């Protein structure tokens, strides 16, 4: 049935091609030129983002030298004269990312190893959609859950003055970066050729020894990429940290304090910033910093991932 | 010999128990979150809640304007991001050669996918709101979300098109069809389920995305519904953010209700995408 339909399509196409001749081909050239443009559009958007962030953000360095901007510990955008030091935000991002990574990496890799190496097909087929659901949760819903369910829990368990802290945000971020860590690690583990496992069994290794000594080392570059993508997620996540990290402006010395990561600083400040004003420029400069950070993380992750793909290709 | 096997078996059991525990730590909270939102939010859901405008700063009335705004946003996003994404996907899979330009485009896509959503917000604010003078409007927000969705629609289209077997193209070219005729009549119909899956996922993202529309100016409360693309708008995720974090004395049931509606919309899109994908896979295996 399908075959027939395909044949008639192609046949009709041939008739059209010979019958309509030049006009048709002109139309085709027109469409094809649009396709080239669409391909280029992705570069245009990326360049547009870079140019805009540089154009709006870099002028702040004429007012606040880069040294003071990156290492200054005071952020007083509305005082006279204003000071723009983003150290508190940078350290906050560092804390929540550390907490998130410390939780999500071991759990994510263990879950991927279970799904790829141990779980029966039926269990795997039930668990994977649940993890996909988690990937689909909007970040504002995760922030809301952090606010309602997790922060009271964190407050009482760790006996903190407030549940809105870097710790709570980090735990929430761990959950949000788990799906990508799991799926990329699982793909890496599945790409390890079966011969590796069989050779290991033939030497008398148990299944667990094979996973630990053969599969995970063989998939290590893919797992590294997975971790980096997870870190990129955690650095760039906005709504969750805006809602549950606490929003304090001091440089946080421990993750249990309320804090304001870079993304939250932009989100909470941009509404009050006057276009072209110093605060506006400073927020775009934070955006530029974030962009460079995530660009670096993603480029490295992609490079590692490509290498992993080539590794087992024959 | 036997004595050395036993401890190894025990360590294997312990290790597997830990792996299962890790998986449970991932899966159980997902179920808890869904159950909590459904149980706590169900009380707020009523016909009036879904169809009436809000009043008293969201404390009374419904959330219809937010639902409608989110619907418009989703529509605006997909109208822009889907055709462009499919065309770029065609370019990458059918026209491009392995040269520096193609590599640059692929690199751009990888990076666009990793750009934080708040940075897209800044981009939208600088370009669409201020430079193009669209103001804080539906149009500016939709275009911002489109730029963000682009990476996803390009990637899924490219993968779907690349998965069409080469023989199909060769068969079409062999009977005299041109390259574009082959793409239009043979390749795209075969790639359709994959492309649609990507589009549905992109829409579900657009529904839940909050940070960009917070920057380009979603409104918490508006007296009327948006009449044109240049009007300001309300949106579900922004509404949830505001009632959860900024309105004191908000009834808990109402907040959970907003979360429930948002989650229901997003998850039904995700489930729809899964169904399309599974059906396409089944069809491919059966023929």
Closest CB from B90, B119, B186 relative to A287: B119
What SS3 state is found at A32? helix
Q: Does the distance separating the beta carbons of B178 and A13 come in below 8 Å?
A: yes
Give the A window 67-96 contacts with B, CB below 8 Å.
none
Closest CB from A114, A236, A270 relative to B20: A114
Q: Cα–Cα distance between A107 and B19 in angstroms, integer?
A: 8
Give the A window 168-207 contacts with B, CB below 8 Å.
175, 178, 182, 206-207
Mean pLDDT over A267-291 rounds to 92
Q: Cα–Cα distance between B266 and B268 in angstroms, integer?
A: 6
Write down the pLDDT at residue B153. 94
- Would you kindly state where each structural domain of chain B is located, as residue ranges? 2-44, 47-286
Mean pLDDT over A213-227 rounds to 93
Q: Cα–Cα distance between A167 and B257 in angstroms, integer?
A: 27
CA angle A155/A159/A162 to nearest 5° reads: 40
What's the pLDDT tens digit per position in B70-112?
A: 999 999 999 999 999 999 999 999 888 888 888 899 889 989 9
How far off is chain B from A234, nearest CA to CA, in Å?
A: 9
B135: left (phi over 0), alpha (psi -120 to 50) or beta: left
Q: How many CA atoms lie within 13 A of B82 on its CB side?
A: 18
Write down the pLDDT at residue A168. 95
> How big is the A-B interface in CB pairs under 8 Å?
289
How far off is chain B from A251, nearest CA to CA, in Å?
A: 22
Residue appearing with tokens 């109208």: B79
Write down the pLDDT at residue A1. 43
Tell me: pLDDT of B163 over 80.
yes
Give the A window 15-54 contacts with B, CB below 8 Å.
16-18, 25, 28, 31-32, 34-43, 45-46, 48-49, 52-53
Query: Residue A86 is encoded by which pair of tokens?
Result: 């983003």
Mean pLDDT over A253-267 rounds to 94
Which chain A residue has its CA at the smallest distance from B149's CA? A42
* Maximum alpha-carbon separation in chain B: 81
Tell me: pLDDT of B146 over 90.
yes
How far off is chain A from B40, nearest CA to CA, in Å?
A: 11
Class of domain B47-286: mainly alpha
Query: Residue B3 is encoded by which pair of tokens?
Result: 């004595």
User: What proportion of chain A, given as a percentage, has pLDDT over 70?
Assistant: 92
Q: How many CA atoms lie within 13 A of A128 on its CB side?
A: 16
Closest CB from A18, A133, A232 relative to B30: A133
Counting every residue written for chain B, the total comes to 287
Contact between A115 and A124 under an 8 Å Cβ cutoff? The reply is yes
What's the pLDDT tens digit per position in B4-15?
A: 567 888 899 999
Q: Cα–Cα distance between B232 and B216 in angstroms, integer?
A: 10
Closest CB from A137, A149, A178 relative to B36: A149
Query: Residue B22 is encoded by which pair of tokens?
Result: 């890790």
CA angle A84/A86/A88 to nearest 5° reads: 125
Mean pLDDT over A29-33 rounds to 87
Q: What is the mean pLDDT of chain B?
A: 89
Residue appearing with tokens 């041939």: A14
How many other C-beta atoms can be found within 10 angstroms of the C-beta atom of residue A313? 6
Q: Cα–Cα distance between B240 and B259 in angstroms, integer?
A: 6
What ipTM does the predicted assembly reach? 0.90
Contact between B88 and A272 under an 8 Å Cβ cutoff? The reply is no
What residues pair up with A259 in beta bridges, in sequence order? A246
How far off is chain B from A302, nearest CA to CA, in Å?
A: 8
How far off is chain A from B166, nearest CA to CA, in Å?
A: 14
Q: Does the distance separating the beta carbons of B241 and A143 come in below 8 Å?
A: yes
Chain A residues in contact with B267 (beta carbon < 8 A): 133, 136
Q: Identify the CA nearest to A99 among candidates A289, A274, A291, A255.
A: A255
Q: Is the dihedral of CA B232, B233, B238, B244 positive or negative?
A: positive
| pTM (2 d.p.) | 0.89
What's the pLDDT tens digit per position in A96-133?
A: 999 999 999 999 999 999 999 999 999 999 999 899 89
Write down the pLDDT at residue A22. 62
**Contact A112/B at CB under 8 A:** no
How many other C-beta atoms can be found within 10 angstroms of the C-beta atom of residue A16? 16
Q: What is the mean pLDDT of chain A?
A: 89
Tell me: pLDDT of A21 over 80.
no
Write down the pLDDT at residue A11. 52
Residue appearing with tokens 């639902």: B67
Residue B124 per-residue DSSP state: H
Q: Cα–Cα distance between B220 and A167 in angstroms, integer?
A: 29
Phi and psi (nearest 5°) for B215?
A: -75, -45
CA angle B104/B110/B112 to nearest 5° reads: 95
Tell me: pLDDT of B236 over 60.
yes
What's the pLDDT tens digit per position in A54-77?
A: 999 999 999 899 999 999 999 998
Q: Does the distance separating the beta carbons of B115 and A12 come in below 8 Å?
A: no
Closest CB from A6, A34, A42 relative to B109: A42
Contact between B234 and B219 under an 8 Å Cβ cutoff? The reply is yes
Contact between A32 and A24 under an 8 Å Cβ cutoff? The reply is no
């Amino acid at each position: 049935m399908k075959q027939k339909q395909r044949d008639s399509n192609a046949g009709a196409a041939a008739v059209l091609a010979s019958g309509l001749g030049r006009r048709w081909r002109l139309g085709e050239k027109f469409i094809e030129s649009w396709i080239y443009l669409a391909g280029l559009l992705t570069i245009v958007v990326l360049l547009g983002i870079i140019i805009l962030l540089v154009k709006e953000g870099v002028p702040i360095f004429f007012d606040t030298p880069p040294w003071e901007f990156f290492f200054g510990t005071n952020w007083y955008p509305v005082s006279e004269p204003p000071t723009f030091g983003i150290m508190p935000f940078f350290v906050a991002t560092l804390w929540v990312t550390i907490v998130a990574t410390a939780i999500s990496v071991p759990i994510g890799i263990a879950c991927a190893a279970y799904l790829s190496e141990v779980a029966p097909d039926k269990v795997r087929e039930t668990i994977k959609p649940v993890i996909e659901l988690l990937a689909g949760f909007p970040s504002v819903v995760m922030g809301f859950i952090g606010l309602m369910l997790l922060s009271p829990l964190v407050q009482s368990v760790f006996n903190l003055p407030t549940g809105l802290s870097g710790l709570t945000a980090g735990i929430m971020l761990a959950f949000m970066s788990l799906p990508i860590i799991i799926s990329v690690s699982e793909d890496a583990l599945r790409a390890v050729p079966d011969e590796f496992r069989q050779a290991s069994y033939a030497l008398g290794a148990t299944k667990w020894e094979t996973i630990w000594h053969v599969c995970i080392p063989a998939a290590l570059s893919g797992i590294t990429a997975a971790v980096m993508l997870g870190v990129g997620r955690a650095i760039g996540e906005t709504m969750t940290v805006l809602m549950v990290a606490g929003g304090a402006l001091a440089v946080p010395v421990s993750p249990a304090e309320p804090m304001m990561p870079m993304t939250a600083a932009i989100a909470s400040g941009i509404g009050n910033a006057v276009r072209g004003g110093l605060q506006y420029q400073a927020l775009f400069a934070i955006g530029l910093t974030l962009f460079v950070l995530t660009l670096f993380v993603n480029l490295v992750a992609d490079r590692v991932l490509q290498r992993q793909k080539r590794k087992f290709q024959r | 010999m036997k004595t050395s096997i036993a401890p190894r078996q025990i360590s294997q059991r312990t290790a597997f128990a830990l792996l299962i525990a890790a998986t449970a730590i991932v899966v159980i909270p997902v179920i808890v979150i869904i159950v909590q939102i459904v149980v706590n939010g169900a009380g707020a859901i009523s016909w009036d809640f879904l169809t009436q405008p809000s009043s008293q700063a969201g404390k009374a009335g419904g959330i219809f304007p937010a639902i409608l705004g989110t619907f418009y946003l989703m529509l605006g996003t997909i109208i822009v991001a889907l055709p462009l994404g499919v065309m770029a996907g065609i370019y990458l899979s059918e026209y491009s050669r392995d040269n520096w330009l193609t590599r640059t485009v692929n690199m751009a896509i990888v990076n666009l996918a990793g750009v934080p959503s708040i940075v897209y917000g800044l981009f939208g604010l600088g370009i669409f709101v201020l430079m193009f003078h669209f103001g804080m409007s539906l149009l500016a927000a939709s275009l911002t979300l489109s730029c963000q969705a682009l990476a996803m629609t390009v990637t899924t289209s490219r993968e779907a098109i690349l998965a069409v077997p080469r023989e199909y193209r060769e068969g079409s070219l062999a009977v005299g069809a041109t390259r574009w005729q082959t793409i239009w009549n043979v390749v795209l119909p075969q790639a359709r389920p994959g492309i649609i899956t990507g589009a549905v996922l992109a829409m579900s993202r657009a529904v839940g995305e909050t940070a960009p529309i917070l920057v380009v100016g979603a409104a918490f409360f508006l007296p009327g519904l948006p009449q044109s693309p240049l009007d300001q708008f309300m949106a579900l995720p922004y509404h949830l953010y505001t009632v959860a974090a900024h309105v004191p004395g908000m009834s808990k049931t109402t907040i959970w209700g907003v979360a429930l509606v948002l989650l229901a919309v997003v998850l039904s899109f995700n489930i729809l995408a899964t169904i399309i994908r599974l059906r396409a896979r089944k069809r491919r295996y059966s023929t």
